[in-house]
Amino acid sequence: MVKFLKPNKVVIVLQGRFAGRKAVIVKQFNEGTTRERPYGHCLVAGMMKYPKEVIRKDSAKKTAKKSRVKASIKVVNYSRIIPTRYTLDVDLKDVVSAGALTSRDKKVTDAKETKKQDKSSSDVLDLLNE
């Protein structure tokens, strides 16, 4: 069905709590995987919380607090995302696994690893902050 939604493609989430947020496709499932998800869907990693604007008169503590980012991992239906023309060179397949959503602990650790990976790559933050 959908052949252009590949890993590392930047998408915009349309519905739900993260509506309007940008995310990156980690893995796609063109055919349904189980009875619970018989439709095409993908595993995305995105930003829950973007860094805020830092001004010169802010203290170091306030600057550090404003610079924090928070990552999220989610399985999304294809009809709930819009692809953009951008792709990222960051490989998140090693960091995030499809089994991460089975337990809360795995999901939290994978989200933290995604955040570290995003911090190390400045082009990811620039693209997601546009």
**The overall pTM is greater than 0.75:** no
Helix, strand, coil content of the chain in percent (nearest 5): 30, 30, 40
CA 113/CA 96 separation, integer angstroms: 8
What phi and psi, each to the nearest 5 degrees, are found at residue 43?
-95, 120
CATH (residue range 9-128): 2.30.30.770
Task: Quickly count: other Cβ atoms within 10 Å of residue 100's Cβ.
Answer: 23
List, for residues 22-79, the tens digit of each pLDDT value. 999 988 887 777 777 788 888 898 888 888 999 999 999 999 999 888 888 888 889 9
**What are the tens digits of pLDDT across the range 84-96?**
999 888 777 777 7
Query: What is the distance between the alpha carbons of residues 13 and 20, in angstroms, rounded to a whole number?
Result: 6
